[in-house]
Structure 1
Amino acid sequence: MSDKNPLPVAKGRAPALLLLVVASLVALPLLLPSATLATEILIFALAALACNLLLGYTGLLSFGQGIFFGVGAYGAALLMIHLQWGMFAALLGAAVFGAFLALLVGALAIRRTGIYFVMLTLAFSQMAYFLAYTLSGWTGGDNGLLDVPRPNIEIAGHVLVDLADPRHFYVFVAVLFLLIFAGALRVIRSPFGSTLLAIRENETRAAAIGYDTRHFKILVFMLSGAITGIAGALYAMLLHFAPLSNIDLMMSENILIMTIVGGTGSLFGSLLGAGAIVLLGDVLSELWPRWLMLLGVILILVVVFMRGGLWGGLAELGKRLLANRNADDKPQAKTKETL
């Protein structure tokens, strides 16, 4: 990296954003019918957050997120089943697997830009799916990997937290989500994050002032892969099952849709997008077997009328309400001055 002064660091109210996340984490299990559904939302919010680091902050549209999600699920499951690894060790293994696969995919894919980059990630996604299908001895093939355990949190053989209870598992995932969210927020508000934004806005100019853009893109790819791998591992533990669909192209598409609906360039939008898509799927699937058509219509409406996603739409609504309130207060102030 160049000796030049780093690009300006993004400013903002990080404490307020973290408080909003904490409030959301507390409210989810209270508002939803089950802790399992709330946990599923947080897991996919993690995956969408990881995708947002690529798409929203670096401008990389990747269809390879399902690769890292699936390898995290399979990797953690195999470590727990065959080596009896505990919860934290399995999650660490999933993060390492996800980061390593992201390194391989990213190192090859970023050699091209634009549509060619997208096509490369799409090709890698298809290759990963058929590889998982072929290695049925490891992945279970069409049947998936069954009997995935959910280890308790233990110290010296003493159980501290029984994660078999869905409420306890939700709290564990919520704490993990908060830690990762805070870490990602720290990253994007650092000089590293500002450099990613510079690459998104104008990669040629960022390279011209001395930044090794390939180096930064590989690093953010690995970070995204590690977080997505953790999300995949948690999903396998939630279901006690690692299906082949975890590594399917459809999984990459779902993660991308959650990211776009929530709002690209917004970490909290990742939580909104995951919540919206998971809840819509849960509600609409009971109303109509072809509910994906309705989901498509909703996605079109969001893209056309809420260009910043749900988070952008809420922010715009807040600005309008504040502007209307200020406009209503001004005549009153003038009346008082006249009197």
Structure 2
Amino acid sequence: MHIPENYLSPATCATMIAAMAPVWYVSAKKVKVQIEEKKENLVQLGIGASLVFLIMMFNIPVPGGTTAHGVGAVLLAILLGPYSACLAVTLALVVQAFLFGDGGILCIGANAFNMAFIMPFVGYGIFLICKKIFRKFGDKIGAFAGGYLGIIAASLTCAIELGIQPILFKNSVGQPLYCPYPLKITIPAMVGVHLIIGLVEGGITLAVYAYIKKVAPQTIYHSEDYVKASNVKSERKWSKALLPIIIVALLLCPLGLIASEPAWGEWDGTDIMTQLRKYNLPAVMPKAFTHNNGYHAIFDGYAIPGMSHGVSLALGYILCAASAIIIFLLIAKIIQAIIHKDIRE
């Protein structure tokens, strides 16, 4: 679901960044209040970004010869609140784009709109609705339903962003300049894939939520004991509860390499030509892909130079994930230190 460079027009990219700007602003204001009330929320934000990052590294093969992955945005919305989830997922997307070439730099606004806004807020809303409707196990039903429907909603918005490109942006003879697939192809393809992946997303959301509820219920956003919880104890319980999950996911993340095919809509120029023929569309390379001027990340494709085969490739994948986790925690600690300094002054 990471839209790569060249698939969206600069006008679309600018529009999506403008759409996300107020969301990021409001989220930052809301999270600032949460941090002032419970300072450990900032560390939890860094851990949450790490968890989301790891979940997105597990590529799963789907029918049609492509792959897809979970996101974890609804899980974070339930555990930390939707505003914290928005910032954590955005942070993960920025690191993915700049360091690992996963998603376009110019497309960060669109990718954040889909995965850091639509997904956590829609999923969290469904979670709350299910809690009210179902008296028994309503929260667990809501966790699964929120994760499932949240990622489907995100895939639908992504499909629309891609599908409107050939309608709005084409040359004088009607050939698409950017994404060449119309809505009648993007919507069934994207949503169809995520109807399957949504089962995995819902399962992960339910499993981790049930686990955290059992071992550290007071750390869950707006739970009965949330406000009463001690800052130090909450942070320790949160870290202790998620540490095993982070470690296991880190060690197992090379399994994501098994599914080596790109996700739908993330093909390079060569593969686009193959896909155009597959969908019986004119096999004409969109102009945006003819220049090959896209940003090249240092660790493109989560690969470390010189570690591109066999065991070394898997080790490089783990090192990339570990590096991202360290970055998230460092950012959280630096911001925490700045805030603590401001409070003392």
The TM-score, its normalising length taken from structure 1, stands at 0.37
Q: Which has the larger radius of gyration?
A: 1
Name whichever structure is richer in helix by fraction.
Answer: 1
The TM-score, its normalising length taken from structure 2, stands at 0.37
